[in-house]
Structure 1
Amino acid sequence: MNVVCKRNIRLHPANVGTIYDSVRTINKLNSNIPINFEILSECPLPNNAKIDILETKFEYQICKVDKKILVNGHNVDCTLNSIKDKICLNKSYINLVHKNCSNLILSIVENISFDFKIKVKVKAIAYIDNCRKVFFEAFGEGEDHIKSILLSNVCAPNMVKYSQNIYLKFDNDIMGMAYPEFLFLSPIYDCDLNIDFLLGNAFLNYIINLDITSLISSDLNLPSYK
């Protein structure tokens, strides 16, 4: 542990909290959005080209987060536009609290929605006249919106028996994927009957995690004097 010294006073950093319990809940969701792909190639692709997608690269940016958290059926105040939160438990969230109970099982419901900006990059091959093939890349952007309800149970100490505050720490994590076999492209032609851009129908997969940690806040360490 690092020690900060100032004259004859030694200050020891205090622990933020002690982990009492932790749990992870995972939901898997599917989505379907249209995306226009611009072809990044100097070689023209004629209208009779057959396209095969080799690889996709998926990126997203969270534009908006909206959520609602219930503890034992009670709606609690939370930070709306954030995937992280920390809630101090109080007796109004718990029914029939007695001192003879050492710990409590809390039922957690998180109703969360996300607005995304989506970027998909495609590596593909175009077969031309059955004897020539051209490798090319295409890039597209779109918007997506998903909703999920995550149900969890977490153990927390009985707040009546503790002088310290009891907290629940929430942390969401999201992973998105766009598999080549679930991306369908339709060519749009220019005046010379070459492929101008690709109209895509993308089936996207999301994995949403909810990590909940039950924390006991630690007492501050008092300065010690030499």
Structure 2
Amino acid sequence: MSAIICKELCKTFRQGDEVITGLDRVSLAIDAGEFVCLSGPSGSGKTTLLNAMGGLDTPDSGAISVGEQRLDTMSKSALANLRLNHIGFVFQAYNLIPVLSARENVEFIMQVQGMPAAQRRALADDVLAEVGLAGMEGRLPSELSGGQQQRVAVARAIASKPRLVLADEPTANLDTHSAAQLMELFVALNEERGVTFVISTHDVRVMGYARRLIRMQDGRIVSDQAQQPQGMEPA
């Protein structure tokens, strides 16, 4: 069963008088339960493709489906509902709310979903424990290390039990040790929960965790290969 299907996706952007190609006839299918890395230099199109997969950006042409739902034909409200309930996002900058505790940051999505307070508190604590932050539920983001903040972001992403997690350069602000811990967490969630992971990165160390490596350049897929995961090699 395919988690994501992209067919002939095209996307351009304007910078003044210049037209920049974000995606150039990109087609691919990602099966449920896969662990995929999108690699390539800055401007290669990997973040644009990831945003299209998450319904954060709309391609100019082509078709994209997540599960059985066509994103390119959905209304804005339907897309918002899909993102809220079925797709988890992990960003380079963490995007935590600074005045909320770790628990409250994780609870926020569940509150939007309408979950009762006692239930979402218990679930938030369970998920924070799962990502290795038991005992830190009440800390503000400023009281956590970069690696711990990214773990809160992961907990927030998986709290609603999404079938798909999209991560954009998730290790960019982490040291090697914290990055390795985060990637091991992603692998565990993939293997134990069956969550499909698509991760954009230009970090060769992160690519070692992928079972499938898709390389992009100038908005196109230039290679798409299965590989044996090796973990994080020294930089």
Q: TM-score band, normalised by the shorter chain? A: under 0.3
Give the structure-1-normalised TM-score: 0.20
Tell me which of the two structures has the higher relative contact order, counting C-alpha pairs closer than 8 angstroms and 6 or more residues apart: 1
Structure with the higher helix share, 1 or 2 = 2
Structure with the higher strand share, 1 or 2 = 1
Higher radius of gyration, 1 or 2: 1
